[in-house]
Amino acid sequence: MKAISSYSDALVFAMEAHRGQFRKGDPREAFLSHPIRVAHALVRQGLCDAVLLQAALLHDVLEDTAIPADRIRAQFGEEVLGLVWELTDDKNLLKSVRKQMQVERAPGLSLMARLIRIADKTDNLASLEHAPPSGWSLTRQREYLAWSRRVVGRIRGTHAGLEAEFDAFAEEIDRKLHSKV
């Protein structure tokens, strides 16, 4: 019961933090759907650790909202906050630098952060397949796919099931993007 309560606490926190935010895809989708799907991907693989699922639900809070780290620490503890920090890009850096840092830092992530990262990249690819951001050219979509593969490629061997889901989406998107030449 405690695990369910901690999961629902993180869900409500993420809902409040991401209120009014939308994904880049077309049609616009509430941002909260993304961290929910990331956590759900972990659960589908039998990865039901409370800290892992809380961090999955909160993984974009520091990066994409004005919520301070202290609020996450106070409500969910240092371990959850640590995972969220591992997965947070520094928005003060150029996008190209942030993306390169994700590739370079991937092997140094903790096991739980790697699990979340793979589920996150998989969900982003699923969104790219079903509702690509408006204005994204085929070239930009291909570049995103290639970059996602580089990130996940650096942490291969983390979890076969999550990696298989990622690979399936990556292959499907690759086929679709190359059929649109």
Residue 64 appears among annotated catalytic residues: yes
Block residue for tokens 């996940």: 152
Catalytic residue selected from 9, 64, 163, 174: 64
| Distance in angstroms (rounded) separating the CA atoms of residues 181 and 177 | 7
Q: Which of 29, 63, 89, 167 is catalytic?
A: 63
Burial of 43 (0-12, 13-18, 19+ CB in 10 A): middle
| CA 132/CA 178 separation, integer angstroms | 15
CB 158 within 8 A of CB 115: yes
Residues marked active site are found at 63-64
